[in-house]
Amino acid sequence: MENEREALVFDKLLSKIRALGFLKKRGKQRTDSTHVIGVVRKLSRLELVTETLRVTLRAIKGADESWYRRVLLAAFCEVYVETRRDYRLGQAEREAALCKAGEDGFWLLEHIDRHSPAAVRELDKVQTMRTIWEQQYERVEGRTVAREKMEVNAKDLIVSPHEPEVRAAQKRGQKWLGTRVHLTETAYTAEELEGEPNFITDVTTDVAPAGDNEALSEIRQNLEGRDLKPQEQTVDAGYISGQSMAESRADGVELIGPARPDPSPSGFQLADFQIDLEQQQATCPAGCHPVRWSQTQGVDDRQITRIRFGEQCTTCPFLGEGQCTQSNRGRTLTVREYYPELAARREEEKRPEFWQKMKRRPPVEGTISEFVRRHGGRRWRHRGFEKTHLQNLFKGAAINLKRLIQALKVRQQRMAMAQAAG
């Protein structure tokens, strides 16, 4: 880790597997992800800030005990010397304690900024506390109040002072505190492999709240660095977006996976309209054309096009049938930048050839199961994101080592059979 060579063992073994002829260039691969639980306990909001104060004070005492005893009041430190729980407090008591901890925290940070030596100011725990206070509190008319609405991105929201890199996430009803790991492996059928196994070609660790599709760029870079960029990459719907398909295609990779359903309201959906974004032309199912086009930039800097059909919709024959808008202002379509890619994929899904390609994806779930059940991949064994990533790479290497042994046995059996036949 100190030399930024976390992937050394994984890459060395993969190079050996490739030298033995078990990996093909520009082949077929598949990717899936699973959650990894961090070494933390879920904390309430009050527990988070009081525990942050406790560990920060402890770190300050360890860094400069003389400053700690000279500047910080003993009565102040005693309040936070032990871990506090809030399950016996009523709502009003909990809110009062939350605001009091906020005031105490700002007081401490102010003294650190004004009077502390560099050894205290530069402590990681102090920086973590500063971030938590920015996320949890605000000053309103000179008072410290807890934020009613979290304005920070979930990728940046700290949930424990002990593990600042742990994040909270939810997927398909599964909630966890930790990270997520993406495993990519070759994707050949049993007939194509003739008894040989598929091999893991990449292990990518990401923050828990990140969408699966957000990891694709890093995965492609890793595979390209190993000269193993695939021609086809099969994934589930979590990896599919218009942007991810466009970017993969630009990198020379065909991203195969089902698109999520059109989120448009019931009745006529976007697919029922003829839309040409380049020519700014559209036609509704009733044959009407829009009266106005407008374009804006979304929060993610992607272009959003709004197509308004206006008052002509009030005379539409579909108005009273519940198939389109009931608004007097008419139907407005919101079309995002990469909509054409999604529309094309949804049309492709109607053909059996697409689902024939998708048959390559399900076996990756067996690899995920092996990673979790046989190699303890469900939980962090160490503290810190980088150590967890190193741990994941070791597990990927262990799986590949077992598969290499299997592949060599198959090759040896073939050679024995060929010699016997000769």
Q: What is the pLDDT of residues 16-51, one digit of tens each?
A: 999 999 998 889 999 999 999 998 889 999 999 999
Reduced to 3 states, what is the DSSP secondary structure of residue 307? Answer: strand
Provide the sign of the torsion angle of the four alpha carbons 351, 353, 355, 358, taken in this order: negative
Q: Is residue 91 part of a domain?
A: yes
Confidence of residue 219 (pLDDT cuts 50, 70, 90): very high
Q: 321 pLDDT exceeds 70?
A: no
Q: Does residue 360 sit in the same domain as residue 320?
A: no
pTM of the model: 0.89
Q: Does residue 252 sit in the same domain as residue 322?
A: no
Q: Is residue 155 part of a domain?
A: no
Q: 6 pLDDT exceeds 70?
A: yes
| Residue after which a domain boundary falls, among 338, 360, 381 | 338
Q: Does residue 75 sit in the same domain as residue 131?
A: yes
- How confident is the model over 351-377, as pLDDT tens digits? 999 999 999 999 999 999 999 999 999
Question: For the CA atoms of 402, 404, 407, 408, what is the dihedral angle to 10 degrees?
Answer: -110
Q: Is residue 379 part of a domain?
A: yes
Q: Does residue 92 sit in the same domain as residue 136?
A: yes
Q: Does residue 232 sit in the same domain as residue 89?
A: no
Q: Is residue 158 part of a domain?
A: no
With a pLDDT cut of 90, the percent of the chain lying above it is: 65
Q: Does residue 254 sit in the same domain as residue 367?
A: yes
Q: Does residue 22 sit in the same domain as residue 94?
A: no
Q: Is residue 157 part of a domain?
A: no
Q: 249 pLDDT exceeds 90?
A: yes
Q: Does residue 243 sit in the same domain as residue 105?
A: no
Question: Which residues are paired to 144 by β-bridges?
Answer: 139
Q: Does residue 50 sit in the same domain as residue 34?
A: no
Q: How many residues does the chain have?
A: 422
Q: Is residue 2 part of a domain?
A: no
- How confident is the model over 138-163, as pLDDT tens digits? 988 888 999 887 778 889 999 999 99
Q: Does residue 139 sit in the same domain as residue 57?
A: yes
Mean pLDDT estimate for the chain: 91
Q: Does residue 180 sit in the same domain as residue 225?
A: yes
Q: What is the DSSP letter of 197?
A: P
Tally of domains in the chain:
3
Q: Which residues contact 320 (CB under 8 A, 6 or more apart)?
A: none
Confidence of residue 87 (pLDDT cuts 50, 70, 90): low
| Residue after which a domain boundary falls, among 312, 338, 364 | 338
Q: Is residue 343 part of a domain?
A: no
Q: Can you give the residue range of the structural domain that contains 22?
A: 8-39+169-258+352-421
CATH code: domain of residue 185: 3.30.420.10
Q: What is the DSSP letter of 311?
A: G
| Residue after which a domain boundary falls, among 338, 364, 393 | 338
Distance CA 256, CA 216 (A): 12
- How confident is the model over 377-386, as pLDDT tens digits? 999 988 889 9
Q: Does residue 412 sit in the same domain as residue 360?
A: yes
Q: Is residue 277 part of a domain?
A: yes
Q: What is the pLDDT of residue 24?
A: 86
